A and B are shown apart, each in its own frame.
Chain A
Amino acid sequence: MHRAALPSCSHLPVAAGIGLRAPHHDQVAAQQPAVPWLEVHTENFLGGGATLALLESLRDRHAISLHGVGLSLGSAEGLDEDHLARVAALVRRIEPAAISDHVSWSVTGGVYFNDLLPLPYDEESLAVIARNVMRFQEAVGRPVMVENPSTYLRHVQSDRAEPQFLAELCGRCGCGLLLDVNNVFVSAENHGYDAHAYLAAIAGLPIGEIHLSGHHLRRIGDRAIRIDDHGSPVSDPVWALYERTLALIGPRPTLIEWDSALPPLQTLLAEAAKARTRIEAAARSAA
């Protein structure tokens, strides 16, 4: 059993939070729901105006997690220093409880693809992403978390499994892992590996946050593949895997993430309440 205290990459409350998206901005500001922490996509707050003012006002009542989707930590050409400077300026301004981005890439040759593209799991990718994570941490002045991706393909040149790649990355950089349990389920189903074995392999890493979200099954001909779309409630097998995760590593800050087909705020809060029940149960059994 791994029941370490929250690692230094995360100062989030060990409670359930929700992802805050633009259609809910006004409602959250006006109604002040009793949710201990909120996560936003960093890139949506790199301008100014009412959007930034809103985030600044929310930080008085909620811990904030800045979750990036655009740093492209896996880019062989390195990070966009201008973009990184904007992220670092937002971090100084908001003083978030956690900072994260993904184990993936989205920028090459001057194009931003707005998708979390997969990396081969080999030594060169590890060296590239480790260098970029170190630069990220240097710019924001603290340890960050990296999120395991949903994957739909594997590269011929990969020579190690994802848990090993993540462990080596955390070990080299001193960064934490943002464990997306839905992504573990989606990738395990898509590639036919055992999600429980995956969890056992990463349970000892510094996991500072968990993500939960929905996915859908896409049919291609007579076959099907699971697509992570953050567009539906957390599925039953993912709840079960989440309970398994908490039993292995102890309670962790957990986010309900919803992006497409965004439901009313109440639906997000109800999903967060389900996560909270499980966090509290895990805390009781850990005591």
Chain B
Amino acid sequence: MTASPDPDLAAGVREFFAGSAAEAAADFDRSGRFPRELWAAAEQLGLTLVAVDESGGGSGGSLTDQLTVLVTAARYAAPLPLAETALAAYLLASAGVPVPKGPLTVAPVNTFRLDDDQLRGTARDVPWAGAAGLVVALATDDDGRSRVVAVDPSGYEREDGTDPAGLPRDRLTVEATAVINADTELTAADLRARGALLRTGQMAGALEAIHLLTSRYVGERVQFGRPIGRFQAVQAHTVAIAQAAEITAMSTWRAAAIAARRPARFEAFAAKLVANESARTAVRAAHQAHGAIGMTREYPLHLHTRRLNAWQHEFGTERELSSAIGAAVAPGSFSRSVSDHDPDIEVP
């Protein structure tokens, strides 16, 4: 049995982003202009709604396929709301709502009050809202039932902001009729778990990027008459980054395989925690190995380390995720949660 990414898809996606993303990332970093052409090209190739059924407007791929795209896009720092669109599509599909084309985004859970069809509230830190055709959210109606709701740009006022990576993260004040208001079985925890898993995949891609950048740099940079990568003290950094990239990628694929079958909050949270820890280690190690050049905007390391700094703090704080897992590890179930493939562990 395998849960590996499809090599043909991986190669195709790599080819696409390798040829297009680096320039777009640098350009976005300078200008902040949304790369509409890159988005359109990705959409054309079916890379924006990978895991959505073909009947619902998507490419009919698996969650692993979806993550293959996200890992690779992040590997090249593609400045596109691919994870946000995938997460919005996950919400819409859960309510049986067809997924529209174009960039989408998701507002944090329970920031909007739902009164009949009226949505009100202020959402902080909504990524890529300026580019999104719809802001989708999970809300609770008067009877306490989960609803998937959405507003279009006519329904909110936007205040621009950014995350530490310079990616857009806006504040929305909403007062409007919901353009979508439908029942869903998904809970806030499900949404957080899916978001955590998608971000973990992006972090795996960013970690692979800094692994490749650092390996190349320490092989080329000469001090004391030899490449600095020959020094054991520097090797310790490259090894730490390789480990971080490897364990984060492995955790992504494992959690994705299980999340395709059943709710996988334990696996998603565990993978995200490991990604966070790996990111902290690898960001420090990569900057240390690079020295001053890595601290500049002209060298591409920052495109990845800044994203890792931002993504560590999303879809649950460290404390929330680790406490949720810890609370769910019932007496006698610690070892089983590690060695079972389908651990019977219900994370709140």
Q: Are these two chains actual partners, yes or no?
A: no
